Structure 1
Amino acid sequence: MERIVTGSQMKALDKYTIEQVGIPSLVLMERAGLSVFEAMRKEGFSLKKTLILCGSGNNGADGVVLARLLHLAGYETDVCILGKPENFTKEMQKQIDIGRNYGISFVKSFHIAEYTVIVDAVLGVGLSREITGNLKEIIEELHNFQGKIVSVDIPSGICSDTGKILGCAVKADLTVTFGYKKAGLCFYPGTVYGGKIVTADISIYAMSALLSQPEIFSYTKEDLKKIQRKQDGNKGTFGKVFLIAGSKDVFGAAYLSGMAAMRSGAGMLKICTHKENRSLFSCFPEAMLLCYEDNQDITKELLENFMWADAIGIGPGIGLQEQAEKLLDTVLSHGEKPLVIDADAIGMLKGREEQLKNYPNEVILTPHLGEFSRLTGISIEEWKENPIKITQKIAKTLSVVLVCKDARTVISKENERVYLNLSGNDGMASAGSGDVLTGIILSFLAQGKEAQEAAGLGVYLHGAAGDLAAQRKGRAAMLAGDLIEAAGQILDAI
């Protein structure tokens, strides 16, 4: 897993490293400047003439260190300090004094056309207000720059917690961020403005006790090793999934979700769907079926399958009719196994919150933001203002593992860790993609993973499969079914 931090968390880690661990701030700055220098050279940027724009704080001091390293390596480098001397931190003043002793060129004005690279070391992770005035004009001028732009730690103007643009922002080709990736470099549009993002180890000390809550992590491909096949296993030991999906005239969601569950490792699958779908499932002989007719009471059969299953899922394509509501009520009233609620079933949860809270096992909700908004009354815009805290709050309120699906999906369980998914691409924004995710999560639940881990690993694998499918098909051409094949191949490779 990879740790992600907010701006305030990063400040706390910096402070502890300097004041308690005992690493001087000037040493951290030296490592920071060197990290940016090495990253620029690794990218092959033309360093014929570099301009470094510095603020008055420690982000600016990192920039002055970088200027010294470039100068000593023989590259023509200018430093322009945009902050006021009376606002200089002691570290910034020290780095300026060192830089002058080394003969660095400090300039008061510049023409961007003269440079091949411009480095943004103006504002760090502490920015909380919108950029205005002369600085805004300078940043907007940079949007016309034809060379490469490098940001130090985070592009100036990007909120370090949400990725929001605060008035205006530098749009970098490369961002070298220090210690840990900042949340604002993960969410949109911050991740776009960051360009290629490199996380540099500069010896920041991390300890959970130092951090304000919540702790934020993202899964990586290494974490998929937790999904292991036992060589002496059988179809029962790999988990039994019971999926209530599809409805009259709706087949695809049930097929995609069920197939995804099987392709990601589940040993057995039974799908409960309308009888009109029976003949369509001839293309999926591995799935068992429980079929119902209009207005048929199948409570007895449902209870039997609740007992049989290791994980239950409901929602993909079931519709919003009275019969779908009865199916949901039966699940919430009589189900006892880990449960995934998706799609249409989420649309019917309004007014059933107490049933949800009283469910005797773990529940995973997987709403896209429209479904989330309808369920909670929180607008999409409001969620985007503070996605981590709002997701965590609603997860606690509903007593569920909440998977808020967006370009950056957030997964939370009450007061525990929050997982931010960084895999996937816009090619996945097509019909059926969410159904595939439901099947993958159900598979991991049935294989014995606890709910938050099943959700986090499922979302990561779903996104990684999207990335693989995009390589093969192209983002515009890929379909939800392509994710299923890719997910299986990724697991096999791991």
Structure 2
Amino acid sequence: MHQALSPESRGVSFDMDRLPLFGRVFVPVPTGSEATAFDEHAIQTMQVPGPVLMENAGRSAALVLHRLFPRGRVVVLAGGGNNGGDGVVLARTLRAAGREVRLVGVGRSGSQTLLHGHGPSPEALPDDASRLDAVLAWGDVLVDGLLGTGIRGAARAPFDRVIQAVNRSGRPVLALDIPSGVEAGSGACRGEAVSAQVTVAFGAPKLGSLLHPGRERSGRLVAVEIGFPPWSEDAAGARLITPGWVDELRPRRAFRTHKNAEGRLLLLAGRPGMAGAAVLSARAALRAGVGFVRVASSAENRAILQMAVPEAVFVDMDDAEAVRLAAESSDALTAGPGMGTDASAARRLNRILEEMAPPALLLDADALTLLGEGRLAAFPGASAPDRRLLTPHPGELARIVEGEAGQAISDPGSAARAAAGRWEAACLLKGSPSVVAISGGGPLRVSPTSTSDLARAGMGDVLTGVAGAFLARGLRAPDAATVALHLTGRAAAMATCGGEALLPSDVVDALPMALEERGEGSTELDFPFVLLDLGPPR
């Protein structure tokens, strides 16, 4: 007798605090067209047979489904392209494993030969909504093999009504490669789009599954190896920030060292009443391992800073000589958190850039406002392009390049690249996901650790402090941004008090745990072909 899945088992449990699995240091994040081009390269140039790739894709997805949903009946919706072929292989594999499976063909299909004479008999798509709803209700788990990565614009008939039926079914959905209706290059949903609990991506996660709204539609994101040759680093325009890569980038302390050798950071932050921004940035920088922090802030903030961060040296930001001496003995300048945007703030920062020539420079918050308003005539000072870092949120990015904040949210990669090119600096655009673009080109760096838990005043000050620390410790600007994004994201996940109650100071306190974390992560999907396992967005 058939036993339906219980309500509890229809969701997919995922420990959000654990380090997600990253099976490789280099994880490309291709668009749909880049994935297609690599697929063709594998088949035509590297002589990997197309049916082998499809067989591996379908079987891998079937094993993932069987592990996550070990009981219940399965309805596979297969379109006419390669995505549908993957679905047919999955249906045959599950049937061979003893699962009850129905296979529904949608649109023109040439993939039924992949059944190889056994498996579930293909069914025609029901004409009316009630019959389609009944077919979907038969299943406990639905498989979306409708459209794949090739969609541009809105899904057309009959796919649009099938997607609507899937979303109203209330059944958990496993999508193949990317949820149908989500554009693989942008994450946009121009019309109906499947809402999946799990997405199994083939070869690499697609960019559209990491950008919103595609990220919400993808749920838990699993990437599996299907027999592709290794990706070259220029085969995709974006790559994922992984723990292994961050571990390669991070500086290592020498056995014999001293505070000045571990980086000296000058932090220009905190107008009167804004001591908190300076405190958060300074504490974060120290936790990130920098050897020496000086904080140039308002005299009014002296007592607060010396009590809250006794490890940092206070400098009165209105004492020009003291600021000059601090700047000349620093390896990097971080300017902006709570700094102010009045005439004196602009004059002070211009003087440092013009006369004191810090070798590395990070501009955030109020400093970005001054830059966008054309009031930093001395920018970039003596810093080289690979030692300059801008860290805007979407609103600040709209001030430093032409455009609106909404464009930075809907297309963060293009927006960050525009800022990097305009100012000849690396650009860390904060958001969900946060991304890093490089002056002069290079793959976009996409953070998988971004979370809505970080949407709180002061989190940017923490990120600025960590990135500034790694600039002072000698990293190139894009690498400092990459390391800082990973560490702050992991610290947020590991903090004792998480979720909506998470405070910026909690992230600072958890940075030591993030710094000590090593390894590629873990997953209950203990198959050798699993490359990536990211929890659902939150």
**Preserved contact between residue 306 and residue 337 of structure 1 (Cα < 8 Å):** no
Matched, 1:99 2:123: no
Matched, 1:339 2:361: yes
Q: CA distance change for structure 1 residues 52 and 485 in 2, over 3 Å: closer, same or farther?
A: same
Give the equivalent residue in structure 1 for 2:371: 349
> Aligned pair count?
478
Cα shift readout 1:240-294 (whole Å, capped 9, x = no counterpart) = 11111001122100011011100110111111011111111231221111114xx
Matched, 1:458 2:458: no
With normalisation by structure 2, the TM-score equals 0.85
Matched, 1:28 2:50: no
2:405 pairs, out of 354, 363, 380, with: 380
Matched, 1:124 2:148: yes
Matched, 1:289 2:305: no
How many Å separate the matches in 2 of 1:460 and 1:301? 34
**Preserved contact between residue 346 and residue 375 of structure 2 (Cα < 8 Å):** no
| One-letter identity of the residue aligned with 1:345 | A
Give the equivalent residue in structure 1 for 2:419: 394
Cα shift readout 1:129-148 (whole Å, capped 9, x = no counterpart) = 11244322221121222332
| Structure 1 gap ranges (5+) | none
| One-letter identity of the residue aligned with 1:243 | L
Q: How do residues 251-266 of structure 1 correspond to structure 2 at under 5 angstroms? A: 251-266=275-290
Q: Tell me by how many angstroms 1:209 deviates.
A: 7.3
Q: Secondary structure at the match of 2:229?
A: coil
Q: Secondary structure at the match of 2:259?
A: coil
- Cα RMSD after superposing both structures: 1.9
With normalisation by structure 1, the TM-score equals 0.92
Q: Tell me by how many angstroms 1:424 deviates.
A: 3.3
Q: CA distance change for structure 1 residues 103 and 245 in 2, over 3 Å: closer, same or farther?
A: closer
Give the equivalent residue in structure 2 for 1:216: 239
2:325 pairs, out of 298, 304, 318, with: 304
Q: CA distance change for structure 1 residues 238 and 381 in 2, over 3 Å: closer, same or farther?
A: same
Q: Tell me by how many angstroms 1:330 deviates.
A: 1.6
Q: Secondary structure at the match of 1:356?
A: coil
Cα shift readout 1:53-99 (whole Å, capped 9, x = no counterpart) = 11111111111111111222222222111112xxx5xxxx2x41242
**Preserved contact between residue 219 and residue 457 of structure 1 (Cα < 8 Å):** no
Q: 442-451 or 97-106, which moves further after superposition?
A: 97-106
Q: Where has structure 1 moved over 4 Å in runs of 4 or more?
A: none
Q: CA distance change for structure 1 residues 249 and 366 in 2, over 3 Å: closer, same or farther?
A: same
1:11 pairs, out of 20, 30, 36, with: 36
How many Å separate the matches in 2 of 1:459 and 1:474? 17
Q: 7-16 or 280-289, which moves further after superposition?
A: 280-289
**Preserved contact between residue 78 and residue 104 of structure 1 (Cα < 8 Å):** yes
Q: Secondary structure at the match of 2:148?
A: coil
How many Å separate the matches in 1 of 2:162 and 2:409? 28
Q: Secondary structure at the match of 1:419?
A: strand
How many Å separate the matches in 1 of 2:255 and 2:513? 18
- The structure, 1 or 2, with the larger RCO (C-alpha pairs under 8 Å, 6+ apart) is 2
Q: CA distance change for structure 1 residues 211 and 354 in 2, over 3 Å: closer, same or farther?
A: farther
Q: 460-469 or 250-259, which moves further after superposition?
A: 460-469
| One-letter identity of the residue aligned with 1:169 | A
Q: How do residues 401-416 of structure 1 correspond to structure 2 at under 5 angstroms? A: 401-414=426-439, 415-416=441-442
Q: CA distance change for structure 1 residues 328 and 210 in 2, over 3 Å: closer, same or farther?
A: closer
Matched, 1:180 2:196: no
Q: How do residues 166-245 of structure 1 correspond to structure 2 at under 5 angstroms? A: 166-208=190-232, 211=235, 214-220=237-243, 223-224=246-247, 226-245=250-269
